[in-house]
C-alpha cells in the first residue's frame, strides 16, 4: 500500500523552481468580444437574506454579498444573476432550483503532480475539506460572461488562482487552460448551505509561484496519482478526519485518472468534450 505523505503546512511550502512547462500548442482562442448592448440579464426576484449570520467571517461575508454569480439553466444558458449568498442557500436551491456556473481548476506541475488545497475553516460551504487546486465561480461581469471558448470561465480561473493561492497571472496565462468538460451536480454542505453548480473542469500544466491566502486556504499539497488514491481511500474510510469536496470526488470517480494519464501521454486534447453536460450524483 502506498503511504500518503504528510501534508505540508503553508508556512513550510516553498515556491516551485521548475522551468515553465505547458501542454502542446492548441488552436488560438478568439479575441475577447464585448457584450452586446441589446443583451439583457435579469436578476430573479428574491427576498432579503434571512437568518443569523453574525458568526460569518468578515472576508467571507463580503464575498457572499458582493459577488454576483451567473445563473444558468441545465443547458448552461444564462438566465440571470444573484448574490453568492442566495445561490448557496439550500432553501433557495431546492425551491427555486437555482443553478449557477462554476469552475474547477486542476493544476499540475512539470512532474505531473496535482496541486491540492484544503479549504479554510472560515469557508461558508464545505470548510476544511480537501479538493482540487481551485474551485470557484465566474462572476456577473463582462470579462467573465464570455461564452466563446469558455473564455469568461478561464478569465475567472486566472483571477481566483491569484486571489486564493497567490499565483501571479503571468504564471497561468488564460490560453494555457484546457477546458475539458462540464458537470452538473447538487450537494448539501449542512442544513443551511449547499451547492448547485454547472461546473467547468479546467486543466493546466504549469510550474507556479505560490503564496496561499489564509482566508481561503488552510493547506496545500502536490500529489501523484498513487498518493491521491490513498487520500481518497482514507477519506472514504473516515480515517484521520479527512474529507473531500463533493465535486472533486465526482470528478475523481468519473474522469480524473483517465485525464491525468492523458496529461502524461500528451493526448489530453483528445479527451475534450465541451458539448456534453454530465449530470452526476
Instruction: Just list the catalytic residues.
Output: 135, 197
Distance between CA atoms of residues 75 and 96, nearest Å:
16
- The answer to whether the CB of 181 falls within 8 A of the CB of 198 is no
Q: How far apart are the first and last CA of the chain?
A: 29
| Residue position matching grid coordinates 461564452 | 147
Q: Give the Cβ contact number of residue 51 at 10 Å.
A: 8
CA distances, 140 to each of 68, 73, 101, 146, 246 (Å): 5, 15, 10, 10, 24
CA distances, 280 to each of 23, 96, 106, 245, 277 (Å): 28, 20, 19, 14, 9
DSSP run (H or E) holding 75? none
DSSP run (H or E) holding 70? strand 68-72
- Residue 127, classed as helix, strand or coil, is coil
Which three three-digit cell numbers place residue 140?
456577473
Identify which of 164, 163, 167, 118 has the alpha carbon closest to the alpha carbon of residue 20. Answer: 167
Which three three-digit cell numbers place residue 63?
464575498
On the 0-12 / 13-18 / 19+ scale of CB atoms within 10 A, 57 is middle
Helices marked H in 166-276 — which ranges? 225-236, 246-251, 257-265
- Residue 277, classed as helix, strand or coil, is strand
Amino acid at each position: 500500500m502506498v503511504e500518503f505523505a504528510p501534508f505540508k503546512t503553508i508556512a513550510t511550502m516553498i515556491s516551485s523552481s521548475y522551468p515553465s512547462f505547458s501542454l502542446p500548442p492548441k488552436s488560438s482562442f478568439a479575441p475577447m468580444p464585448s457584450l452586446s448592448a441589446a443583451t439583457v440579464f435579469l436578476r430573479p426576484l428574491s427576498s432579503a437574506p434571512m437568518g443569523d449570520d453574525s458568526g460569518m467571517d468578515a472576508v467571507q461575508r463580503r464575498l457572499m454579498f458582493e459577488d454576483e454569480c451567473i445563473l444558468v439553466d441545465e443547458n448552461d444558458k444564462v438566465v440571470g444573476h444573484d448574490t453568492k449568498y442566495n445561490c448557496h442557500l439550500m432553501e433557495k436551491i431546492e425551491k427555486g432550483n437555482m443553478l449557477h456556473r462554476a469552475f474547477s481548476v486542476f493544476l499540475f506541475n512539470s512532474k505531473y503532480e496535482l496541486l491540492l488545497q484544503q479549504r479554510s475553516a472560515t469557508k461558508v460551504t464545505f470548510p476544511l475539506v480537501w479538493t482540487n487546486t481551485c474551485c470557484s465561480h465566474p462572476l456577473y461581469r463582462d470579462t467573465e460572461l464570455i461564452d466563446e471558448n469558455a473564455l469568461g470561465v478561464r478569465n475567472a480561473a486566472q483571477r481566483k488562482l491569484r486571489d486564493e493561492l497567490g499565483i501571479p497571472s503571468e504564471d497561468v496565462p488564460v490560453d494555457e487552460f484546457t477546458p475539458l468538460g462540464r458537470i452538473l451536480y447538487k450537494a448539501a454542505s449542512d442544513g443551511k448551505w449547499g451547492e448547485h453548480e454547472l461546473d467547468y473542469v479546467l486543466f493546466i500544466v504549469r510550474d507556479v509561484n505560490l503564496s496561499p491566502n489564509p482566508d481561503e486556504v488552510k493547506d496545500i499539497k502536490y500529489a501523484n496519482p498513487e498518493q491521491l488514491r490513498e487520500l481518497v481511500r482514507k477519506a472514504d474510510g473516515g480515517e484521520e478526519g479527512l474529507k473531500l469536496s463533493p465535486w472533486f470526488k465526482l470528478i475523481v470517480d468519473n474522469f480524473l485518472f483517465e485525464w491525468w494519464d492523458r496529461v502524461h501521454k500528451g493526448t489530453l486534447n483528445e479527451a475534450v468534450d465541451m458539448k456534453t453536460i454530465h449530470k452526476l450524483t
